[in-house]
């Protein structure tokens, strides 16, 4: 049995930032376990630019952004193992992992940071009717084939879903010589960033059809045609609105699902909204000494926010290792943060006024597009933040900053509420 103070599950952007931060917070014994053949996670296949504007104040590609953190990890001499699959994490923090060289091995950790990322929703999970030929890919799978292996997955493409990877792949496929015929989005708004719609669709004349979905897939061996139709407010197809596109490829960018199978075996309490763990402001789950960050916690829009969140998780995990359960002991109690009226969830789910930093950024997403609205925060019934926003949309993460001073001074504080208010 190996022993490490902190074991980090996943060597993508979250795992890397958490590891570096934990080391710089004074913990020496850290091990990062990565299932792929290199560190960096999904960033390695994101060869477009636009990463790092917040963190490094410059525009980097995905591999460059990952590279900065990998350099830091190497400078800090943090141990990592590649091609290593974590098979199980027991509640007593024994991690069982496996790879070609070491076989099956166990690690006793003092603290664990969950940084496993997310996976894409598949055609099956979407229950799209039709045939099941070759030529149907999740956008990320196609991105890997094109960007990392240099293979074209198709020539004529229809994309379902306007998540960021789908939008990025619309542009990438076009640049590589494919014809992207249309992007259909079930919702009346896009799930991706506004800048991606402009730079990846509008600039290339690719139509985006909101409130549309795929109703049929033709082709027994390879995709031959895709039929899309408009959907009503109930998101069901409206008969008579079908449009058929001949094509050989369907890409799906219909949402990401945090990969929490290991968290469940660890008996971590999960949010039904995010499908990620419920955490306090230290990013600690209900299982003492188990922290979560990045897309395994909630799906982010920008990697910069992943790095920021993961750094915090690393720091708190280090404090836990140094001080044990005492790190969490305070006089004040954890105050629940309730997301309602347009706000779908918040990370963290609770905050402790005693333990928190001077300022704490609470991140959340909205459930619909709201124009000229206010993002409001209430301490009990008293509104303390009322921030005007020209537009908020589900594709972009929102944030509010809570101040320790304000929370600590509020007598009898029992609940914090985050909501969207119409003008």
Contact pattern from residue 213 through residue 242 relative to other proteins, giving x for each residue in contact according to CB under 8 A and a dash for the rest: --xxxx-xxx--------------x-----
Nearest approach, Cβ of residue 406 and other proteins (Å) = 39
- CB nearer other proteins, residue 127 or residue 411: 127
Structure tokens at 236: 């069901």
- CB nearer other proteins, residue 149 or residue 358: 149
- CB nearer other proteins, residue 74 or residue 151: 151
Determine contact, residues 130/242, Cβ cutoff 8 Å. no
Q: With binding defined as CB under 8 A, does residue 314 bind other proteins?
A: no
- The span from the CA of 188 to the CA of 191, in Å, is 10
- The span from the CA of 345 to the CA of 74, in Å, is 36
Determine contact, residues 94/104, Cβ cutoff 8 Å. no
Nearest approach, Cβ of residue 392 and other proteins (Å) = 26
Q: With binding defined as CB under 8 A, does residue 177 bind other proteins?
A: yes
User: Which of 28, 54, 71, 87 touches other proteins (CB under 8 A)?
Assistant: 87
Q: With binding defined as CB under 8 A, does residue 368 bind other proteins?
A: no
Within 67-86, which residues bind other proteins (CB under 8 A)? 83, 85
- CB nearer other proteins, residue 162 or residue 253: 253
Instruction: Label residue 378 exposed, middle or buried (CB < 10 Å: 0-12, 13-18, 19+).
Output: middle
Beta strand 225-230 with 243-246 is antiparallel
Q: With binding defined as CB under 8 A, does residue 92 bind other proteins?
A: no
- CB nearer other proteins, residue 109 or residue 262: 262
Q: With binding defined as CB under 8 A, does residue 10 bind other proteins?
A: no
Nearest approach, Cβ of residue 37 and other proteins (Å) = 10
Q: Strand, coil or helix: what is 128?
A: coil
Please identify which residue in the block is written with the tokens 């560190």. 39
With contacts defined by CB under 8 A, how many residues of the chain interact with other proteins?
A: 54
Other CB atoms within a 10 A radius of the CB of residue 92 amount to 8
DSSP letter, residue 84 = -
Nearest approach, Cβ of residue 125 and other proteins (Å) = 6
Within 105-164, which residues bind other proteins (CB under 8 A)? 105, 119-120, 122-125, 127, 129-135, 137-138, 140-141, 144-146, 149-155
Nearest approach, Cβ of residue 267 and other proteins (Å) = 14
Determine contact, residues 159/185, Cβ cutoff 8 Å. no
- CB nearer other proteins, residue 21 or residue 211: 211
User: Which of 58, 102, 357, 399 touches other proteins (CB under 8 A)?
Assistant: 102
Contact pattern from residue 33 through residue 52 relative to other proteins, giving x for each residue in contact according to CB under 8 A and a dash for the rest: --x-----------------
User: Which of 1, 77, 92, 101 touches other proteins (CB under 8 A)?
Assistant: 101
Determine contact, residues 183/168, Cβ cutoff 8 Å. no
- CB nearer other proteins, residue 141 or residue 376: 141
- Residue ranges in 246-295 assigned as alpha helix (H): 261-265
Rg (CA), the chain: 22
- CB nearer other proteins, residue 125 or residue 408: 125
- CB nearer other proteins, residue 216 or residue 334: 216
Q: With binding defined as CB under 8 A, does residue 1 bind other proteins?
A: no
- What are residue 376's DSSP bridge partners? 386, 419
The angle, 0 to 180 degrees and rounded to 10, between the axes of the packed helices 13-24 and 62-75 is 30
Core vs surface per residue 311-344: b (16+ CB within 10 A) or e: bbbbbbbbbbbeeeeebbeeeeebbebebeebbb
- The span from the CA of 163 to the CA of 186, in Å, is 11
- CB nearer other proteins, residue 264 or residue 388: 264
- The span from the CA of 305 to the CA of 161, in Å, is 23
Cis-peptide into 348, omega within 30 deg: yes
For binding to other proteins (CB under 8 A), which residues are involved?
35, 83, 85, 87, 96, 98-105, 119-120, 122-125, 127, 129-135, 137-138, 140-141, 144-146, 149-155, 176-177, 215-218, 220-222, 237, 248, 261, 264
């Amino acid at each position: 049995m190996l022993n490490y103070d902190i074991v980090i599950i996943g060597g993508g952007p979250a795992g890397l930032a958490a590891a570096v931060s934990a080391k710089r917070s004074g913990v020496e014994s850290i091990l990062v376990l990565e299932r792929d053949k290199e560190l960096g996670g999904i960033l390695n296949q994101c060869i477009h630019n636009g990463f790092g504007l917040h963190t490094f104040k410059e525009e980097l590609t995905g591999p460059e952004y990952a590279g900065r953190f990998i350099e830091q990890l190497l400078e800090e001499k943090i141990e990592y193992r590649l091609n290593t699959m974590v098979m199980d994490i027991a509640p007593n923090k024994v991690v069982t992992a496996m790879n070609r060289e070491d076989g099956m091995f166990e690690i006793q950790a003092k603290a664990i940071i969950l940084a496993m990322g997310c996976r894409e929703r598949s055609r099956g999970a979407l229950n799209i009717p039709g045939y099941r030929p070759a030529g149907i890919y999740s956008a990320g799978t196609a991105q890997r084939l094109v960007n990392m292996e240099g293979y074209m997955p198709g020539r004529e493409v229809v994309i379902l879903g306007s998540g960021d990877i789908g939008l990025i792949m619309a542009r990438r496929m076009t640049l590589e010589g494919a014809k992207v015929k249309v992007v259909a989005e079930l919702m009346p708004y896009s799930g991706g960033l506004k800048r991606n719609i402009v730079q990846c669709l509008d600039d290339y004349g690719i139509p985006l059809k909101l409130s549309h979905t795929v109703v049929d897939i033709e082709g027994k061996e390879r995709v031959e045609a895709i039929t899309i139709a408009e959907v009503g407010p109930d998101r069901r197809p409206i008969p008579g609105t079908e449009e058929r596109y001949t094509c050989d490829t369907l890409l799906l960018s219909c949402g990401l699902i945090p990969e929490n199978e290991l968290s469940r075996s660890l008996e971590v309490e999960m949010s039904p909204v995010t499908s990620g763990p419920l955490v306090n402001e230290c990013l600690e789950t209900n299982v003492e000494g188990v922290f979560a960050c990045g897309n395994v916690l909630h799906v982010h829009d920008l990697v910069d926010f992943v790095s920021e969140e993961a750094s915090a998780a690393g720091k708190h995990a280090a404090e836990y290792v140094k001080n044990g359960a005492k790190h969490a002991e305070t006089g004040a109690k954890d105050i629940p943060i309730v997301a309602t009226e347009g706000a779908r969830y918040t990370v963290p789910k609770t905050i402790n006024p005693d333990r928190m930093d001077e300022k704490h950024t609470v991140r959340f997403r909205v459930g619909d597009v709201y124009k000229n609205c206010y993002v409001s925060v209430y301490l009990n019934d008293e509104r303390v933040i009322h921030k005007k926003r020209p537009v908020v949309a589900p594709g972009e993460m929102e944030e509010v900053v809570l101040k320790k001073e304000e929370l600590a001074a509020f007598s009898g504080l029992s609940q914090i509420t985050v909501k969207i208010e119409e003008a």
